Amino acid sequence: MTMGREGLGVDAAARAPSAHAVAIESMRVRPLDFVCGEFTLCDQATGIHYWVANGWGFYGVYVPQKYNFSFLGQFAFGRALKEWRARWLEHQHLNALAGAPQGK
């Protein structure tokens, strides 16, 4: 057990990961499970929707319960979202070249 800045004595491994960290890891591990709509990015495996319409400053969980990401979490999520979109577009382009139907 380590003493953190807060002096709570909470072990770092025992703390739950932040919401933006879970979203970022999910986008990296399962990029094809995500679908981007006009306003939200939907994780089809979990049913969680992330608000992405207004850009930085408004990123957060939209469904099942509204939760805004922290200041630094917004930057990290925005960077991961940009990477996800690039991978998704590359996947769509490769499918088009191979003659596969559009979508997943």
Q: Say if 68 falls within a structural domain.
A: yes
Q: In which band, very low, low, confident or very high, does the pLDDT at 1 lie, cut at 50, 70 and 90?
A: very low
Q: Say if 44 falls within a structural domain.
A: yes
Question: Mean of the pLDDT values across residues 85-91?
Answer: 86
Q: Say if 26 falls within a structural domain.
A: yes
Q: How many domains does the chain have?
A: 1
Q: Say if 60 falls within a structural domain.
A: yes
Q: For residue 38, give its domain range.
A: 17-98
Question: Mean of the pLDDT values across residues 79-104?
Answer: 81
Q: What pLDDT is attached to residue 5?
A: 52
Q: Which two tokens stand for residue 84?
A: 């996800």
Question: Mean of the pLDDT values across residues 34-46?
Answer: 91
Nearest to 34 by CA among 94, 91, 101: 91
Q: What pLDDT is attached to residue 78?
A: 92
Q: Say if 9 falls within a structural domain.
A: no
pLDDT digits (tens, 9 = 90+) for 52-74: 988 878 898 988 888 889 999 99
- Quick one: what percent of the chain has pLDDT higher than 70? 82
